[in-house]
């Protein structure tokens, strides 16, 4: 359902109403492939004015495409109008090589229905979706500009049937302590084959897979090795990047080795105990790294996080200014509440992220705040009827998540969440969510 401006959204700071995003559209579709009805989900900006890159995103075992909308991390890029993502649903047994025709047909359908830059087709997948990503680089009828796998390797049972011999631009992100997809290869705690068509889950060592990819791309020189900043020293993880390319940088292979990392996408949440899945790295966000790799391949340059190249400065990120920055944000949140409550819409616009105003249009944004003001007036909210429960600054101090609650008829309501971004002109409001 296409998201819209709605007064209840900023009032969601008060009522924790329905979740809201500024500008994305999501639709579930189906196609008939070899007599079977298959489903997929298209996630796009609500306004597409020019052809955009397409990213095919493959979920892991036990998951589904629908869940990737909120868990994989593409939301900010899609809201910014950077890409269109498609999330197919695997069958009951997860992704198998027999699914290549379905995924090709899925891409065909999106190319037909959406404004896609046909030269910028990408694919990514996590866990078993990462395995299938590698299969697609070898067997799809489509040419992918680049591919990314995360917390995945390659099935030993497929190594002979579908060898990795076709050159491809690939980024592999893998944790050395992943118990489900062992970095050094083997069964780990993955299941064994259930069906005759299932090659099982015994995987090759990650570095053996990378060697096959570099051999296929004829990248035989030594890699450039980079240490990424250890932004969270409490997560038990560090990151080493190995980068191979030809002289023109038209062919690239990247290994992102998360030392101490488990079966969790970097930047993701610790969804199960470490004893079951290993540790989650908080040192980088895998989608940000992936998108930089995809853009680097497209522009025939090295990724900016790779040292020893003309493109990169591998330095620590800017650090937040701690309590001073948080206090400034706290005052700005209060100012936005009061401006909305009192009907000072010029002030509301001043405190809103300019990119949001540009995308939505000033008239829509003003209407949005006017509706919120009306609701606040009806419920007779006073200046002391907002409470800030929690402020969480990002690692670089440039964005923040703020939890707020409102007091209605003497009772504090369930908190809502606001996203804020720091600009040269101070903190600016972006969106409110449930």
Both structure tokens of 66: 């629908």
CB atoms within 10 A of CB 380: 9
45-73 pLDDT, tens digit each: 888 889 999 999 999 888 888 888 878 88
Please check the confidence at residue 20 and state whether its pLDDT lies above 50. no
> DSSP letters along 74-108, please?
-HHHHHTT--EEEEEPP-TT---GGGHHHHHHHHH
355-399 pLDDT, tens digit each: 888 888 888 888 888 888 887 887 788 888 889 988 888 877 888
Q: Considering the chain, what percentage of its residues have pLDDT values greater than 70?
A: 87
Please check the confidence at residue 91 and state whether its pLDDT lies above 70. yes
pLDDT of residue 408: 77
Mean pLDDT score, 338-352: 92
Report d(CA 359, CA 72) in Å as an integer: 24
| Predicted model pTM | 0.67
Q: Considering the chain, what percentage of its residues have pLDDT values greater than 90?
A: 53
Residues 6+ apart with CB under 8 A from 407: 381, 384, 385, 386, 387, 413
pLDDT of residue 104: 97
Report d(CA 34, CA 70) in Å as an integer: 30
Please check the confidence at residue 160 and state whether its pLDDT lies above 90. no
The DSSP symbol for 402 reads E
Report d(CA 350, CA 401) in Å as an integer: 19
Report d(CA 223, CA 300) in Å as an integer: 17
pLDDT of residue 12: 45
Given pLDDT bands bounded at 50, 70 and 90, which one contains residue 318? very low
Please name the residue that has the structure tokens 């191979």: 244
Report d(CA 219, CA 241) in Å as an integer: 16
The DSSP symbol for 11 reads T
Given pLDDT bands bounded at 50, 70 and 90, which one contains residue 111? very high
Please check the confidence at residue 434 and state whether its pLDDT lies above 50. no
The DSSP symbol for 23 reads S
pLDDT of residue 2: 38
Top pLDDT among 410 and 208 is at: 208
134-145 pLDDT, tens digit each: 999 999 999 999
Mean pLDDT score, 15-27: 50
**Phi, psi torsion values for 430, nearest 5 degrees:** -115, -55
pLDDT of residue 201: 65
Please check the confidence at residue 4 and state whether its pLDDT lies above 60. no
> DSSP letters along 329-367, please?
HHHHHHHHHHHHHHT-HHHHHHTB-HHHHHHH-HHHHHH
Top pLDDT among 290 and 268 is at: 290
pLDDT of residue 191: 52
pLDDT of residue 67: 82
Please check the confidence at residue 18 and state whether its pLDDT lies above 50. no
pLDDT of residue 261: 96
Segments making up each domain of the chain, as ranges:
34-299, 322-433
Top pLDDT among 150 and 231 is at: 150
In CATH, 322-433 is 3.10.450.50: yes
Look over the chain and give the mean of its residue pLDDT values, rounded to a whole number. 85
Report d(CA 231, CA 245) in Å as an integer: 27
Helix 128-139 to helix 100-113 angle (10° resolution) is 80
Superfamily grouping for domain 34-299: Alpha/Beta hydrolase fold, catalytic domain (3.40.50.1820)
Top pLDDT among 373 and 6 is at: 373
Structural contact between residues 39 and 91, judged by C-beta atoms closer than 8 angstroms: no
| Among candidate residues 127, 84, 140, 107, the one with its CA nearest the CA of residue 38 | 107
Q: What does DSSP say about strands 52-58 and 116-126: parallel, antiparallel, or unpaired?
A: parallel
| Alpha-carbon dihedral angle through residues 210, 268, 75, 289, given to the nearest 10 degrees | -40
Top pLDDT among 425 and 20 is at: 425
Return the minimum-mean-pLDDT range out of 105-119, 206-220, 285-299, 381-395.
Answer: 381-395
| Among candidate residues 43, 37, 35, 151, the one with its CA nearest the CA of residue 91 | 37
Burial 43-74 (b: 16+ CB within 10 A, else e): bbbbeeeeebbbbbbbbbbebebbebbebbbb
Please check the confidence at residue 117 and state whether its pLDDT lies above 90. yes
Please check the confidence at residue 315 and state whether its pLDDT lies above 60. no
Given pLDDT bands bounded at 50, 70 and 90, which one contains residue 196? very low
């Amino acid at each position: 359902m296409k998201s819209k401006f709605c007064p209840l959204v900023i009032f969601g700071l008060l009522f924790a109403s329905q979740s809201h995003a500024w500008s994305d559209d999501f639709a579930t579709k189906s196609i008939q492939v070899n007599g079977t009805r298959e489903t997929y989900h298209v996630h796009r900006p609500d306004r597409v004015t020019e052809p955009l890159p397409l990213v095919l995103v493959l979920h892991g075992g036990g998951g589904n495409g629908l869940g990737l909308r909120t868990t994989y991390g593409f939301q900010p890029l899609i809201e910014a109008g950077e890409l269109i993502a498609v999330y197919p649903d695997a069958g009951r047994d997860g992704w198998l090589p027999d699914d290549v025709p379905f995924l090709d047909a899925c891409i065909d359908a999106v190319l037909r229905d959406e404004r896609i830059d046909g030269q910028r087709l990408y694919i990514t997948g996590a866990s078993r979706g990462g395995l299938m990503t590698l299969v697609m680089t070898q067997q799809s009828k489509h040419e992918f500009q680049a591919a990314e796998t995360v917390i995945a390797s390659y099935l030993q049972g497929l190594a002979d049937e579908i060898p990795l011999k076709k050159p491809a631009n690939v980024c592999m992100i893998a944790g050395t302590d992943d118990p489900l997809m062992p970095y050094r290869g083997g069964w780990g705690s993955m299941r064994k084959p259930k069906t005759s068509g299932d090659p099982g889950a015994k995987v090759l060592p990650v570095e053996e897979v990378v060697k096959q990819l570099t051999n296929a791309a004829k990248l035989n020189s030594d890699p450039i090795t980079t240490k990424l900043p250890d932004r969270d020293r409490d997560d038990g993880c560090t990151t080493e990047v190995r980068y191979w390319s030809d002289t023109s940088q038209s062919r690239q292979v990247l290994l992102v080795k998360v030392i101490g990392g488990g079966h969790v996408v970097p930047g993701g949440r610790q969804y199960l105990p470490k004893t079951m899945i290993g540790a989650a790295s908080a040192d980088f966000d895998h989608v940000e790294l992936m998108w930089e790799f995809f853009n680097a391949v497209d522009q025939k340059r090295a990724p900016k996080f790779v040292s020893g190249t003309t493109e990169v400065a591998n330095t620590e990120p800017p650090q937040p200014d701690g309590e001073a920055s948080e206090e400034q944000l706290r005052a700005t949140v209060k100012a936005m509440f009061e401006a909305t409550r009192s009907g000072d819409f010029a002030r509301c616009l001043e405190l809103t992220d300019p990119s949001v105003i540009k995308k939505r249009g000033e008239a829509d944004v003003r209407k949005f705040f006017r509706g919120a003001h009306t609701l606040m007036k009806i419920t007779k909210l006073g200046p002391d009827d907002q409470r800030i429960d929690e402020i969480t600054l990002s690692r670089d101090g440039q964005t923040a998540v703020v939890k707020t609650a409102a007091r209605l008829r003497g009772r504090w309501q369930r908190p809502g969440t606001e996203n804020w971004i720091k600009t040269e002109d101070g903190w600016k409001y972006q969106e409110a969510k449930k």
